[in-house]
Amino acid sequence: MELRTTESFYDRLGGEAGVRRLVEVFYDIVEGEEAGRELNLLHLRGHGVAHSRPEQFNFLSGFLGGPKLYAEKHGHSNVRRMHEHVAINAHARDAWLNCMDAALSRCGTDPETSAAIMAHFKSVAGVLKNRDE
């Protein structure tokens, strides 16, 4: 398959509807499956998953090359700042990445796009770890 370098990840996922579906599938995994248990507990200590679903959509919209909804709403899209109140260890970081990888797969994202998006997520997730085991 030829790499589509001019098309944003937002577009490659299907625009607004595709990114919304990705977020919904991701949080369904977080709330309903063992792989997301630790993430769900982290969310329950904060504002909860119901708060996170729209905020994650807003963030991912801009992060993936679409409208910068999170920055428009909050004045920034700094992921370290967004997560500074959350204790993120390597296990939580990896759980997030695994749940997102599963969500991309369940959404039928082509392997090339999934791999490229996950590379970006892994890079960002690496700076979010703020606690040792």
Give the count of domains, the chain.
1
Q: Is residue 89 part of a domain?
A: yes
H or E segment to which residue 93 belongs: helix 90-106
HEC string of 16-59 equals HHHHHHHHHHHHHHHHHCHHHHHHHHHHHHCCCHHHHHHHHHHH
Residue whose token pair is 């296990």: 91
| CATH number, domain containing residue 75 | 1.10.490.10
Q: What is the pLDDT of residue 1?
A: 44
Q: Is residue 25 part of a domain?
A: yes
Q: Give the model confidence (pLDDT) of 74-133 as tens digits.
A: 898 888 888 777 888 899 999 999 999 999 999 999 999 999 999 999 999 988 887 787
Q: Is residue 115 part of a domain?
A: yes
pLDDT at 33 over 80: yes
Q: Is residue 2 part of a domain?
A: no
> Structural domain of residue 48, as residue ranges?
14-128
Q: Is residue 61 part of a domain?
A: yes
